[in-house]
């Protein structure tokens, strides 16, 4: 039923879904043997979830990927109890699982402000340690962005995303000829003869202005971040939400989808994207498809689309 008239994809970019970091808790401060003074404890290293953060931003901001907490202060005559070293916080996106060098899970960060201690600061020098400070814990950690699926189906409402999922997997998503049938992502699994599996997420339809929260845009776009690869599903006849809104051709919907993703988060632009042109059984579809092919192969047309105010031409390649 769903025919992919042609398949296109966008160049693989630098979307990052894992990162390896070096962390070390701060050393403790020296004790003061003569007066029994205690050095301050070294600071701890924490991984903290922030909604707006991405792993790419983290890597760009800290190219050395080293996170070391502050040292505890030495015990002094006028401050026998040394003060505590400063904690170090590593900002990461929500949906990260943290593992150690051996792949053992240290913890998961599933919502904003969740935090996990990854490297503890050393104790300050005290009687127990002969007033010598202890070094902080050293740990290499791996951050992995949990993907909700391998492939995310992205498109305007009514394009046929759920229909496609129902054909390639055992999932039974709601299908109807009105916009916004799908309100929550739905997962399906494609199982191959050799038992390999690909998970596919049917995502709610996007509309123009999604990046500004139109049609619950942000809620939807957030899910797109969590898929490894995108499959744009486009109705060859184009899209019109209602008689009051502008009609968009298939080509325009592709530009608009690209634009919405980019405006929401520039990094999404670098995710690999395949294009499935749908509803090729409708009358006149072949002619419209030829027009679409020409438009996609002619970047000049894309640049002329000033009414769409597209910030950049989409990086689509013919497979």
**SS3 of residue 190 by DSSP:** strand
By CB under 6 A, residue 157 contacts ligand GTP: yes
162 lines the binding site for ligand GTP (CB under 6 A): yes
Tokens 């053992």 correspond to what residue? Answer: 104
The 202-241 site mask, x for binding ligand GTP (CB under 6 A), equals: --xx------------------------------------
Judged by beta carbon, residue 236 or residue 302, the one nearer ligand GTP is: 236
Q: Can you tell me which residue has the tokens 């962390």?
A: 23
Contact pick of 162, 169, 253, 278 for Mg ion (by CB under 5 A): 162
User: 93 vs 185, which CB is nearer to ligand GTP?
Assistant: 185
* Smallest separation (angstroms) from ligand GTP to the CB of 284: 12
In the DSSP assignment, the letter for residue 83 is: P
Strand duo 316-318 + 7-10: pairing = antiparallel
Q: CA–CA separation, 240 vs 236, rounded Å? A: 12
316 interacts with ligand GTP by CB under 6 A: no
Tell me the site size for Mg ion, rule CB under 5 A: 3
Q: Which two tokens stand for residue 243?
A: 């008689």
Which of residues 54, 74, 278, 295 is near ligand GTP by CB under 6 A? 278
The entry of Mg ion, ligand GTP, none near residue 157 (CB within 5 to 8 angstroms by kind) is: ligand GTP
**Position 27 contacts ligand GTP (CB under 6 A):** no
- Member of 23, 74, 169, 181 binding Mg ion (CB under 5 A): 181
Could you give the CA distance from residue 191 to residue 274 in angstroms, rounded to a whole number? Answer: 20
CA–CA distances in Å: residue 102 to residues 105, 110, 125, 141:
9, 22, 31, 9
| E strand spans, the chain | 7-10, 18-24, 45-49, 66-68, 88-92, 96-100, 105-109, 115-119, 138-145, 149-154, 186-191, 197-202, 227-235, 273-278, 316-318
Residue 185 in contact with ligand GTP, rule: CB under 6 A: no
* Total residues interacting with ligand GTP, rule: CB under 6 A: 23
How far apart, in whole angstroms, are the C-alpha atoms of residue 304 and residue 291? Answer: 16
Q: Which residues bind ligand GTP (CB under 6 A)?
A: 1-2, 155, 157-163, 175-177, 179-182, 204-205, 278-279, 281-282
């Amino acid at each position: 039923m769903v025919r992919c008239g042609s398949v296109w994809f966008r160049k693989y970019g630098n979307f990052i879904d894992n990162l390896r970091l070096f962390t070390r808790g701060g050393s403790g401060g020296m004790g003061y043997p003569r007066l029994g003074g205690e050095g301050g404890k070294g600071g701890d290293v924490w991984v903290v979830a922030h909604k707006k953060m991405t792993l790419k931003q983290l890597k760009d901001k800290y190219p050395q990927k080293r996170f070391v907490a502050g040292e505890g202060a030495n015990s002094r005559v006028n401050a026998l109890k040394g003060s505590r070293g400063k904690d170090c916080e590593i900002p990461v996106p929500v949906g990260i699982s943290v593992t150690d060098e051996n792949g053992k899970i240290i913890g998961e960060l599933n919502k904003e402000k969740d935090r996990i201690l990854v490297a503890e600061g050393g104790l300050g020098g005290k009687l127990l340690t002969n007033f010598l400070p202890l070094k902080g814990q050293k740990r290499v950690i791996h951050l992995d962005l949990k993907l909700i699926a391998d492939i995310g189906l992205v498109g305007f409402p009514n394009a046929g995303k759920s229909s496609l999922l129902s054909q390639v997997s055992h999932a039974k998503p709601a299908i109807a000829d009105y916009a916004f049938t799908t309100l929550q992502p739905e997962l399906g699994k494609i199982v191959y003869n050799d038992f390999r599996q690909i998970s596919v997420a049917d995502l709610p339809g996007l509309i123009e202005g999604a990046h500004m929260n139109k049609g619950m845009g942000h809620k939807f776009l957030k899910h797109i971040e969590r898929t490894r690869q995108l499959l744009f599903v486009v109705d060859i006849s184009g899209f019109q939400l209602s008689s009051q809104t502008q009609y968009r051709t298939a080509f325009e919907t592709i530009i608009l989808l690209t634009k919405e993703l980019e405006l929401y988060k520039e990094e999404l632009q670098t995710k690999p994207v395949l294009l499935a042109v749908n509803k090729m059984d409708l009358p006149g579809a072949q002619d419209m498809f030829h027009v679409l092919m020409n438009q996609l192969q002619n970047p000049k047309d894309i640049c002329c689309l000033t009414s769409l105010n597209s910030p950049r031409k989409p990086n689509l390649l013919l497979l």
